[in-house]
Structure 1
Amino acid sequence: MEENPLLPLPEGIQIDRIQASENEVRITAIATHPTSCCPVCRQPSCTIHSRYRRMVRDVPCGGRRVQLTLCVRKFFCRNPLCERKVFTERLPELVCPWAQVTIRYSQQLTSIGLATCGKGGTRLAARLGIQTSRQTILRRIMDLPDLPLCTVLYLGIDDFAFLRGCRFGTILVNLESRRVVDLLPNREAETSAAWMRQQPDLMVVSRDRGGEYASAAREGAPQAIQCADRFHLLKNLKEAVEGFLARHFAAHRTRVVQESRATPLPAAQGKEPPKWSPKQAAVSQTKREERLAQYEHVVALRKQGFSQTAIASQVGIGHATVSRWLAQNAFPERQPSSRKNRLDPYLKEVAQRWEAGCHNIAQLHRELVAHGAPLTYKVVYKQLVRSLPEGRKTAAAPDQLPRPPVLARQAVFLFLRRPEELSAEEEETLALLRSLHTEMDQAYELVQQFTQMLRERRGMHLDTWLAQVNQSNIPELRSFAAGVEKDKEAVRAGLTWWINNGMVEGHVTKLKLIKRSMYGRAGFPLLRQRVLHAV
């Protein structure tokens, strides 16, 4: 039978017979090469000793198992100096010696195991028509040879967690080939330094701001240039700026509260706008936006020449409302209506007692009841809270803390982002932030200088920037600058070179996915194999 193109076999093997059943395909193949080499002395021989059948499993076809029967031969070795007298012919391109599966079958099992690991690989293989066990898949993975250790010139190093906060490992990435070159079982400096000593040509080590890898690079590769990762630099700066903003926001809130407590209680009755709940305020804002949309519609129709009657009919409002709106040059805001309360007749007396120093609401309620006022404590409490300086809403002053953002972790991004990327609302918020204190404006300028230096990789300006920070009185930025001084050369290289740890972080993310697919039950050797040979 001629060779079947759907079942490629190496040269020298010919298909003799194919028998197909519902679940299995049996294929008989015959070795036809006239000679074979002795596996010991490598001398060819053409003298046949005998023949036998060898049963091996091949990759499935159409979801059915494939059983391959090989009719192979035994040869006499004619080399008198060879210790082997009879040998079996080898088929190195199809099956390994003494193996019960073909090479391509084994490769498929290994690929399934690298992608899904043990039990998951068994379930996936069953759907593809491959019957195997979890131990077989794991054994295939562990039998993979280590990758040849090539020369690494640009190395990226970072840690990953086996158990967060408890145990960590180290991942090493070749930044030129973009491949993981090794995994180490811990992040100790000596372990990493021992690996680096095997790379005498190492030129650059990209790392985070941690001291362990800095010490490892100094000991294991003193000839290499250390580069601090720019992302970690920006992250450290963000933490410093966030602490600075939190300190100023807390001081500003304290100052505003103290000033509001010093303001006397107003004696005017019913002139303050009501204090709405957030839900009531949202409903009121929605109604205002609807009225504003109607007003803009009316103005637009009037400019097109529509009469007031036609406008009223089309918009769905009264003719008098259209006339009143058109007579005004701006949108007529509704004035908040004053709400009467049972405490209103007594507000003047209460204000006098408050200014006299009686700030106990329970005491004020007892005095009012003693004078015959039919008031409950709840009514007195609610009205006083609404009228007190701490409870009423006042117009936003220029020095008031802007909202949004209110929190330091939100405002810090306004300091770090490019000015041209800010929206109009964010620019207004940033202007209010900078007006809170002179240190705010100074810190913003220093932060923008550093971020521009980082983005444009102008490491030659680092010394000038550090001098400016040390001359300032901002403790958070000075602490950040002190940390940079300890690692100045690596930071300068990170602000100058193109190298960064972004590629390493991507491999750490992939490693986490592989680790979690193993449900945390496998050890470091299996994890290392799966990461190094990841598909």
Structure 2
Amino acid sequence: MSRLRILDLPRSLVVRRVVALDNRVEIAVGLRKRSVLCPDCQCPTQRIHSFYQRKLADLPWQGRPATLIVSVPRFFCQAAVCPRRTFVMPLDGIAVRHGRQTTRLTDLHYYIAHTLGGSAGARMTVRLCCPISPDTLIRRLLSRARNARKDMPPTRVVGVDDWAWRRGHHYGTIVVDLEKNDVIDLLPDREAATLAQWLQAHPGVEIIARDRAGAYADGCHRGAPSALQVTDRWHLLKNLSEAFVSILGRFTTTVRTLTRQLSASTTLSETSGTVRTQPEEAQTLIRSVSGERRETLFNEALALKAEGHSIQAIATTIGVERKTVRRWFQRGHAPTWK
């Protein structure tokens, strides 16, 4: 079996020598191809000007880091009308221009970063004998994403919503391709100017499903005036549920009375003819205790508000969500039903 097959190198390479050192493996290789096309005039040439060496980090071999030492030829362009006199043979399929590692090692780092992220991925590369820093892993991931985005067709249908850089403190804007169900971009804030600038840079957007915020409406009008704006399903359901809860909150006494009447009514079973009564006294007791607890928390919240505490401080003190405290104050009473 040839050394090329054992080392699993591309067939365009010729192995000259393999040096196994204590902490690494060095593989000296050359290129099989001896005729190339000039990148400017596309004329073929075989006339070699000189050679230079490129050192490329490669996949580890037998638990040791491996380095390819590639002897790369520089050619003369023999076309008299071509302005380029010499050029270097590209390492297509082996390494990118000015790269310091092989493409297959870059692919390995990308998959590790995609699976484990930066810090955990960097620890894994140390165990795999191809160490790399967490920041470089993330750069590999972002570079692959940018290159893939360049090859994608223009985005037609996007979703725009807010998201938290830090919940309760700093919010930004997330832009999603709704046709591919893929996140396109994360904007630093929720300002109309930021969204308008992004839409102007992506003129192919035709439909925008957006948040209810007025800043998003303004940004969509300014950045994509011809795009159709719609409210997405989640916000439609949220609007409906909030309106429903708000209406029921005004008639809690009536709802409670109707619930008791329905609970006290008996239904005749068609199969056995037995009579069932719902619910049991335990359920009524649980509801009563829960109502008293909410009323106590509401009174504590009112007392803290009178002392000048913020909603966030009140929520932290009594142990409920900040949105819940704000909703209690808007209604003027604690909810009395579940």
Deviations 1:144-177 (A, max 9, x none): 5452263333221111111223322111111112
Structure 2 residue aligned with 1:180: 183
**What are the ranges of 5 or more consecutive residues in structure 2 without an aligned counterpart?**
257-279, 292-330, 332-338
Shift of 1:127: 1.5
Larger fraction in helix: 1
1:165 aligns with 2:168: yes
Q: Residue 27 of structure 2 aligns with which residue? A: 27
**Deviations 1:432-471 (CA, angstroms, capped at 9, x unpaired):** xxxxxxxxxxxxxxxxxxxxxxxxxxxxxxxxxxxxxxxx
Task: Compute the displacement of 1:94 (Å).
Answer: 0.6
Segment drifting more, 151-160 vs 209-218: 209-218
Q: Which runs of 5+ in 1 are unaligned?
A: 254-394, 409-475, 477-535
Checking the alignment, whether the CA contact within 8 Å between 1:3 and 1:14 is kept in structure 2 is: no
Q: Which has the higher strand share?
A: 2
Displacement of 1:111 in angstroms is 3.7
In 2, distance between residues paired with 1:51 and 1:249?
87
Conserved? CA contact 2:160–2:209, under 8 Å: yes
Identity over the aligned pairs, expressed in percent? 34
User: Whose RCO is larger (CA < 8 A, sep 6+)?
Assistant: 1
Q: CA deviation at 1:22?
A: 6.2
Report the AA paired with residue 229 of structure 2: Q
Aligned pair 1:233/2:236, yes or no?
yes
Q: TM-score, normalised by structure 1?
A: 0.43
For residues 166 and 143 of structure 1, the distance between their equivalents in structure 2, rounded to whole angstroms, comes to 30
Q: Contact 2:4–2:11 at 8 Å: present in 1 too?
A: no
Give the CA RMSD over aligned residues: 3.7
1:131 maps to 131
Q: In the comparison of the two structures, how many residue pairs are matched?
A: 266
Q: For structure 1, which segment, 108-117 or 154-163, has the greater mean C-alpha deviation from structure 2 after superposition?
A: 108-117
- Equivalent in the alignment of 2:93: 93
State which structure, 1 or 2, has the greater radius of gyration over its C-alpha atoms: 1
Q: Return 52-61 or 140-149, whichever deviates more.
A: 140-149
Cα distance change of structure 1 residues 402 and 208 upon mapping to structure 2, 3 Å threshold: farther
- Cα distance in 2 for partners of 1:238, 1:405 equals 22
Aligned partners of 1:183, 1:240: CA distance in 2, in Å?
A: 31
Q: Compute the displacement of 1:46 (Å).
A: 0.9
Residue 32 and residue 208 in structure 1: after superposition, are their counterparts in 2 closer, same or farther (change >3 A)? same
Find 1:194's aligned residue among 197, 200, 219: 197
Alignment CA distance shift 1:192-1:78 (3 Å): same
Structure 2 partner of 1:273:
none
What amino acid is the match of 2:30? I
- Is the partner of 1:65 in helix, strand or coil? strand
In the alignment, the residues of structure 2 paired with residue 402 and residue 227 of structure 1 have an alpha-carbon distance, to the nearest angstrom, of 44
Residue 218 of structure 1 and its aligned partner are, at CA, apart by 3.3
Structure 2-normalised TM-score? 0.64
| CA displacement at 1:11 relative to structure 2 | 4.6
Task: Tell me if structure 2 keeps the 8 A contact 1:207–1:226.
Answer: yes
Contact 1:2–1:15 (CA under 8 A) maintained in structure 2? no
- How do 1:93-492 residues align onto structure 2 when only pairs under 5 Å count? 93-141=93-141, 143-144=143-144, 145=146, 147-148=149-150, 150-246=153-249, 248-249=251-252, 402=284, 405=287
Instruction: Give the letter for the 2:193 counterpart.
Output: E
Distance 1:209 1:31 in 2: 61
* SS of match in other structure, 2:123: helix
Aligned pair in 2 of structure 1 residues 166, 124: CA closer, same or farther (>3 Å)? same
Secondary structure in structure 2 of the residue aligned to 1:4 = helix
Structure 2 counterpart of 1:179, which letter?
A: D
Partner-residue secondary structure (3-state), 1:191: helix
Aligned to 1:56: 56
CA deviations over 1:38-85 (Å, ceiling 9, x no partner): 445443221233444432211223433122122332333323344544
Displacement of 1:225 in angstroms is: 3.2
